[in-house]
Structure 1
C-alpha cells in the first residue's frame, strides 16, 4: 500500500495534476494511480508507482466511469 503522504505529493508527469489511487477494473484487480483528466492509469509495481508516460495505460470510457465511481471526486488542486 502506498503511504498517504506520498500520494499527497505525487502528480501526473503529463499534466502535473493530482492522481487518484484506484483498483483497476481490467480483471487484474491491481491498484493504479489514475489521471481522470487524461484517462491515463499508471501501474504500481511492489508499492512503487511507475510514473512514466510511455508505460501508462489508456483508459476507455467504461473503465473511466467505474474508476470515478469508486474513487469519488478528484482533488481540484
Structure 2
C-alpha cells in the first residue's frame, strides 16, 4: 500500500511541476507560467489566468507531497511493528 501511495505522490509532484511550467494565455497574449509570469505590462485578464494556474499547481503539489508523507508514515509504522 505504501508503494502505491508513494508512487502516486511522485506522479502528482511531477504533474504539478509540469503544470507550473505550462504557459497560459488570455485574449491571445502570452501570460507566462505559474513559475515564471511574463515580464512587462500584461493585461488584467492574465491575473485571473495566472491565479487559476497557481492554485491548480499548488493543490496538485500539496496532494502529491501529502501522499508521499502518508506512504512514508505507513512504511515506518509497518517497520516498527515488524521489529516489535
Q: Does TM, normalized by the shorter one, top 0.5?
A: no
**Normalising to structure 2: TM-score of the pair?**
0.25
Instruction: Specify the structure having the higher radius of gyration (Cα).
Output: 2
The structure with the largest helix share of the pair is 2
Q: By percentage of residues, which structure has more strand?
A: 1
Which has the bigger relative contact order, CA under 8 A and spacing at least 6?
Answer: 2
* Structure-1-length-normalised TM-score: 0.26
